[in-house]
Each structure stands twice: as C-alpha cells, then as structure tokens.
C-alpha cells in the first residue's frame, strides 16, 4: 500500500499568512478557539516565562508571571482586555520586533511539541513493546536529532535576543542553522512516505498499536489523529512557515540595516530548504508509486518493456503528473485507470476484476466489524478510494493490464472540450480522434490542463533532443581553415548486444562526431538485425594530428533513454597512416586526391575496430576516404 504525502508547495505569502493564523501551533489546532488565536496574536512577546521587549526608558527586561496553559482557554473578551493591557505597558513595539518574537515563540512551541511527541509516543512504545524498535525507527526516523537541532536554534535565538535586544542579528543565526536543518530534513522527508506507509500498515494489522493510539491521542493535543498520521507531518508544517516569517522580518527591516543582507540570504536558504524537502518528497513518492506500477501493471500487450522508474526518451526523470479513472464512453461502467506521465499517457484496466472485488468485500467487512467494536480504523473517503488506488486498502490486490499502447505526448494535438457533454474531452492522435470522459466537470478541466502542460514541456525537450540527433547537424561552426575532408559512405556493425526482437526490438542507429564540433546521425533501422548503413557523410579536417572521429551506436527506445551499445574513438592519424595500405586489401591507392568526383571505388578504404563499452566483443566497420587540399 502506498500513501501520499503533504507537499510544500510554493504559495503566496498571503496564503501562508492564512495558514499561520489558523494552524500555527499544536495547541491552537486542537483547542480550535478564537481565544487561543487571540492569545497567540497579542501575547507574542511571551518567551520562556519572560517578556523579551525593552522599555523605551530602560534597558532591562520585563519579567512576567509564570505561564499557565489554562489561560489559553479564557473567553475572547478577557483575552482581548488582558492582551491590550500588556501591550500598553510595552514601548517600541515595531512590526519587525513583532515578527522576530513570533519567529522565536513559534520555534520554542515547535520544540515543545516535538518533545511531547517523543515523551508521549516514542518512549512509551519502546518501554511497553507496542512496536519493535525497527518499526519505531521506520516511523520516526531521525526525530531526536531533529528535535535537538531545533532546540539549539531556539536557545540561540533566545540568548541572542536577551543579549542584543533589538540589535539581534537574526539573519546571521538563521544562515548558520538552516544548512543543518537541510541535512536533517532531507533525511527525514526522503523516507517520510515510507514512514506513513508503515504507520497505516501497523494501524491496520496491530490491535495493540491501534489501542495505544486511541488512548494517547486524547492526551496529546490531538496530534495523534490515526487516519492522517499528523504526528509525522508536524515537521512538515514547520518548514512551510520559515519563508513567510523571515519575509515578515525582512519586509520591516531597513535596507541599510546591518542584518539586511543576512536576512536576505536566510530567506534564500529557507526557500532552498523548502525546495530540498519538496525534491526529497517527490523522489520518494515517485519511487514508491513506480515500484507499485512495475509490480502491478502488465505490459505484455506492447512490444517494448516499460521501466517506470527510469529516464524518459528525452533524458528527464519520469514523473507521474496526474492519475484518475476515466471512461472511453459515457454510458459504460467499466473504468480505465489512466496515468499521465511526462512523456506518455497510459490507459490500463483491471487484470483480475473478480479477485480485486473479492478482497474489497473482505476489507469492507473487516472495517464494519471493527466499527461495531468501537475500534478506530483508517477509512478512506469514497472520493479518495475512487481516485487514489495507490493508497486504497485494495492496492495489494489490484493488478492492471495495458489497455492500449501508451499515447506519446509529442504526438497529441488539439486537446479540446467535448461540446455536447460536460465531462468529455478530445484530442487528435496519429490522424484519429480519441474521446475520453472524466468523473466530473472539474476533473475534466484538470485533465486538459495537465495534458497541455505536459505536452508543452515534452515538446521543448524533444526539440532540444532533436538538435542532438538530427542528421547533418553541426554543434559549432568550424573556426579553423579546413585542410581536407573525411568521407564516410558505409558503416557496418557486428555482434552488438541487442535485445530480443520479440520484446524490445532492434532499433539501432549510429552517431559520428568529429572533434565535438561536427556531428551526423544515421537513420534508425527498425526491428532489424541487418546493421548496415549506406550513407554519405563528410567532415572537415583542421589538424591531422589532433582530429578524432568518434562513433556511437545506440538502440532507439520509446519509453526510456536510448541505450548505448558501443562506442569507439578513432584518431585521424590512424586512418591516414601508410601502414593501413598493407593491412587492408582495399587500401592500394593514395589517400590524397584533388577531385572527389573522379575517385573510383578502389580509393575507398575499410577499417574494422572493436567497440568500447560493449560486453559482446562488438565491432564496427567503416568505409571511408580521406582527401586533402592541394
């Protein structure tokens, strides 16, 4: 079973502000009251039982009474009065100071929440043998070291604020700690999808673990919600807030302040941290889903094996952009499992519908039995079950088979709405129309947008790749004055490590380069083992002692990068040495000639060479002619 993960999307600061207002700390989340929000907004100067704001007429700190968590439960009116009174006693409350205090207080609250989870969940599970140590490590990963890093950051910020007051160099401290956070979070979130999967599996199979979660969630701020595993996503919520909070400090700082450049750098580093986590999450989610696809999708209907977790034909890492159920006709009840990748659209159907239906009935029966026993059990919504088959309880029993050959994105044209239906859309593919029906109107627009975006990116990548593979294309102009030419009219390849024609097909082609500035490509021989190319290539000679001819033989593939079958580097001096005339029976005439059109066939020479990067003692034979200017 595969589970999805929250993603750190790049959002506007206003949307992050909305989340900051509603979902800042665990206490606010679970009390769900406007009074707690007011407390957090107006009493942001409270840190570690001290008010860390200087009076205008004094340089000493103002100390407060001990903090009582029950105060958070006061009604709105009383909180407003108390908060306003405390603010009236403070002087020099600037927007920058408020933003700095908010960063520090939220950091300390986050550390306390992390410690609470360590005390409430991890330690009792180890002491009471709720789960094995390996399962706990899989769930919480580097939780202790992550907590220590954040605690060190919070303590450093508090100490600096007590010492320096309003002159605190917040940017310097953040620039110091963010690289450490990047290292910790990259480890945590790279295995976060696996941890979520382990959480759900243990919740499903272990009654002891379910009972423990049900008992502890009532005494742990509610962060132990079993269905969503919120205790594991708490660090994710924290990372999403750093760019906004740093931006708030930077926005209220003058350009000539000592800390402005450091704040600007820390904002960049915070964005890098978010991007690093996003990439780690994306890679892990793609990997787990591709593993499921490789195991559960039967590709025997197509001639070429699809390796889902691989590079595309254009050299990019394959990504699963969108997936959902679609229909070929509006009236049919047989759904297709459609998956849009960044290089093709794959349509599949269930391979064993009766077995899948049987296990679905068993899972639903088990769920109702657990519900009758008042046991909490993770239940996916109907919408989620319909859409995300990777995360459904039936995922282990769902097997798919390719319905049709993958639809290559670069051949899709004119994606459009179906006028006479609210859920249908069409596109042209290889001279014919393909009509598909989505589950809803919104889903139809989502499909069209995703397909168009993927086509645009794919077309750009295809254009760049074609510049490399187009015959008779020069990478760079020849800047030196040519002293001659090399003509090649025939290439033969022997003993290439090609795959079986029944599955992947033999589609070899050859690329010949001269000094990395001249390149020409042979046509692709489709589904053939006759590896002979009759061509007419020519390359300019600039320096006979330095010029090198490079030959590469690839096998063309639709669904992955072309596989290198072998290569060889041939110094031009090797082709022009007089000793070749003694080795090759065809080399009996002078290499130099003044007029290419007057040459007879006897002037052409043949050279056979072993290919490198080949495990089959492969060879390549080149028929060539070298001509020099008079």
Q: What is the pLDDT of residues 249-300, one digit of tens each?
A: 888 888 887 778 888 888 988 888 888 778 777 887 888 899 899 999 988 8
Helix %, strand %, coil % of the chain (to 5): 45, 20, 35
CA separation, residue 585 to residues 490, 581, 593, 605, 625 (Å): 17, 7, 19, 8, 14
Q: What is the pLDDT of residues 201-221, one digit of tens each?
A: 888 888 888 888 888 766 655
pLDDT of residue 592: 41
How far is Cα 130 from Cα 209, in angstroms, rounded to an integer?
A: 6
Residue of 615, 583, 405 lying closest to 498 (CA atoms): 615
- Look up residue 452 and give its two tokens: 């168009």
Q: What is the mean predicted confidence (pLDDT) over 87-100?
A: 63
What is the pairing mode between strands 400-402 and 297-298?
A: parallel
Coil, strand or helix at 452: helix
Question: How would CATH label the architecture of 13-31+94-293?
Answer: Up-down Bundle (1.20)
How far is Cα 133 from Cα 78, in angstroms, rounded to an integer?
A: 47
Tell me the sheet residues that pair with 512: 520, 551
Rounded to the nearest integer, the mean pLDDT of the chain is 73
Q: What is the pLDDT of residues 154-199, one digit of tens each?
A: 999 888 888 877 777 888 898 889 888 888 888 888 788 888 888 8
Three-class secondary structure assignment of 375-386? CCCCCCCHHHHH
pLDDT of residue 504: 57
Q: What is the pLDDT of residues 383-411, one digit of tens each?
A: 333 457 887 767 778 889 999 899 999 99
- Look up residue 551 and give its two tokens: 């030959």
The set of residues, in sequence order, having a beta carbon less than 8 Å from that of 148 and lying 6+ positions away, is: none
Phi/psi of residue 502, nearest 5 degrees: -70, -20
Q: Which of 168-172, 477-481, 592-596, 606-610 has the highest mean pLDDT?
A: 606-610
For domain 471-628, give the fold. Answer: Immunoglobulin-like (2.60.40)
Residue of 114, 124, 135, 230 lying closest to 181 (CA atoms): 114
The more confidently predicted of residues 473 and 267 is: 267
Angle at 438 between CA 434 and CA 331, to 5 degrees: 80
Report the range of poorest mean pLDDT among 31-40, 62-71, 429-438.
31-40
Confidence of residue 75 (pLDDT cuts 50, 70, 90): very low
The set of residues, in sequence order, having a beta carbon less than 8 Å from that of 598 and lying 6+ positions away, is: none
The continuous run of DSSP H or E covering 407 comes out as: strand 407-408
pLDDT of residue 402: 92
Confidence of residue 525 (pLDDT cuts 50, 70, 90): confident
How far is Cα 212 from Cα 526, in angstroms, rounded to an integer?
A: 61
Confidence of residue 92 (pLDDT cuts 50, 70, 90): low
CA separation, residue 558 to residues 261, 304, 408, 411, 562 (Å): 49, 8, 9, 12, 8
How far is Cα 456 from Cα 410, in angstroms, rounded to an integer?
A: 9
- Look up residue 156 and give its two tokens: 């450093």
How far is Cα 162 from Cα 156, in angstroms, rounded to an integer?
A: 10
Tell me the sheet residues that pair with 548: 571
Confidence of residue 448 (pLDDT cuts 50, 70, 90): very high
Residue of 526, 520, 537, 539 lying closest to 468 (CA atoms): 520
> Within 10 A of 610 (CB to CB), how many other CB atoms are there?
12
Q: Are 308 and 554 in contact (CB under 8 A)?
A: no
pLDDT of residue 524: 85
Q: Are 562 and 555 in contact (CB under 8 A)?
A: yes
Task: Concatenate the DSSP letters of all residues of 202-218 into one string.
Answer: HHHH-HHHHHHHHHHGG
Residue 382 pLDDT exceeds 60: no
**Domain 299-351+399-467 falls under CATH 2.30.29.30:** yes
State the maximum Cα–Cα separation within the chain, in Å, rounded to a whole number. 106
For the chain, what are the domain ranges?
13-31+94-293, 299-351+399-467, 471-628
- Look up residue 395 and give its two tokens: 């995922």
- Look up residue 593 and give its two tokens: 């000639």
* Neighbour order of strands in the sheet with 46-47: 46-47, 50-51, 62-63
Q: What is the mean predicted confidence (pLDDT) over 303-326?
A: 86
């Amino acid at each position: 079973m595969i589970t999805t993960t929250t993603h750190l999307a790049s959002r506007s600061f206003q949307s992050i502000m909305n989340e900051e207002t509603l979902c800042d700390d665990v206490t606010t989340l679970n009390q769900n009251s406007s009074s707690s929000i007011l407390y957090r907004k107006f009493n942001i100067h409270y840190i570690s039982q001290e008010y860390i704001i200087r009076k205008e007429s004094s340089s000493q700190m103002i100390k407060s009474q001990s903090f009582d968590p029950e105060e958070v439960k006061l009604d709105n009116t009383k909180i407003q009065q108390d908060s306003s009174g405390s603010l009236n006693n403070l002087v020099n409350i600037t927007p920058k100071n408020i933003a700095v205090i908010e960063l520090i207080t939220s950091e300390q609250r986050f550390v306390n929440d992390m410690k609470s989870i360590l005390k409430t969940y991890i330690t009792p599970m180890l002491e009471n043998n709720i789960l094995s140590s390996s399962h706990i490590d899989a769930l919480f990963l580097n939780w202790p070291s992550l907590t220590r890093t954040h605690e060190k950051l919070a303590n450093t910020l508090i100490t600096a604020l007590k010492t320096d007051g309003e002159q605190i160099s917040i940017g310097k401290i953040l620039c110091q700690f963010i690289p450490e956070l990047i290292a910790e979070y990259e480890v945590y979130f790279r295995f976060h999808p696996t941890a979520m999967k382990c959480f759900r599996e243990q919740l499903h199979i272990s009654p002891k673990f379910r009972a423990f979660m049900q008992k502890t969630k009532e005494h742990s701020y509610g962060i132990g919600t079993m269905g969503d595993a919120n205790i594991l996503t708490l660090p994710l919520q924290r990372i999403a807030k750093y760019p906004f909070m740093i931006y708030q400090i930077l926005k209220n700082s003058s350009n000539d302040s000592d800390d402005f450049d450091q704040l600007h750098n820390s904002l960049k580093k915070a964005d890098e941290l978010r991007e690093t986590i996003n990439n780690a999450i994306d890679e892990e989610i793609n990997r787990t889903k591709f593993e499921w696809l490789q195991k559960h999708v039967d590709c025997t209907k197509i001639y070429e094996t699809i390796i889902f977790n691989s590079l595309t034909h254009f050299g990019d890492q394959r990504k699963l952009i969108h997936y959902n159920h679609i229909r070929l006709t509006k009236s049919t009840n047989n759904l297709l499992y459609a998956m849009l990748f960044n290089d093709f659209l794959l349509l599949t159907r269930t391979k064993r519908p009766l077995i899948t239906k049987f296990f679905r009935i068993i899972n639903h029966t088990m769920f109702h039995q657990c519900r009758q026993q008042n046991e909490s059990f993770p239940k996916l919504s109907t919408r989620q079950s319909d859409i995300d088959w990777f995360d459904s309880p039936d995922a282990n029993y769902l097997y798919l088979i390719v319905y049709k050959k993958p639809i290559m994105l670069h051949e899709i044209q004119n994606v459009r709405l179906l006028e006479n239906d609210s859920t249908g859309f069409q596109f042209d593919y290889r001279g014919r129309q393909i009509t598909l029906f989505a589950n809803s109107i919104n889903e139809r627009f989502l499909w069209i947008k995703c397909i168009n975006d993927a086509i645009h990116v794919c077309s750009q990548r295809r254009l760049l790749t074609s510049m490399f593979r187009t015959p008779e294309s020069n990478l760079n102009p020849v800047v030196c004055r040519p002293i001659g030419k090399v003509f090649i009219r025939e290439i033969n390849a022997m003993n290439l490590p090609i795959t079986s024609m029944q599955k992947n097909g033999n589609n070899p082609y050859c690329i010949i380069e001269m000094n990395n500035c001249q390149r020409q490509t042979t046509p692709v021989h489709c589904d053939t083992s006759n590896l002979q190319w009759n061509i007419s290539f020519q390359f300019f000679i600039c320096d006979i002692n330095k010029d090198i001819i490079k030959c590469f033989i690839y096998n063309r593939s639709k669904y992955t990068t072309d596989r290198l079958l072998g290569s060889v580097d041939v110094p031009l001096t090797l082709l022009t040495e007089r000793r070749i005339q003694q080795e090759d029976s065809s080399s009996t005439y002078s290499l130099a000639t003044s007029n290419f059109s007057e040459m007879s066939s006897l002037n052409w020479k043949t050279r056979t060479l072993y290919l490198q990067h080949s495990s089959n003692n492969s060879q390549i034979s080149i028929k060539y002619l070298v001509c020099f200017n008079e």
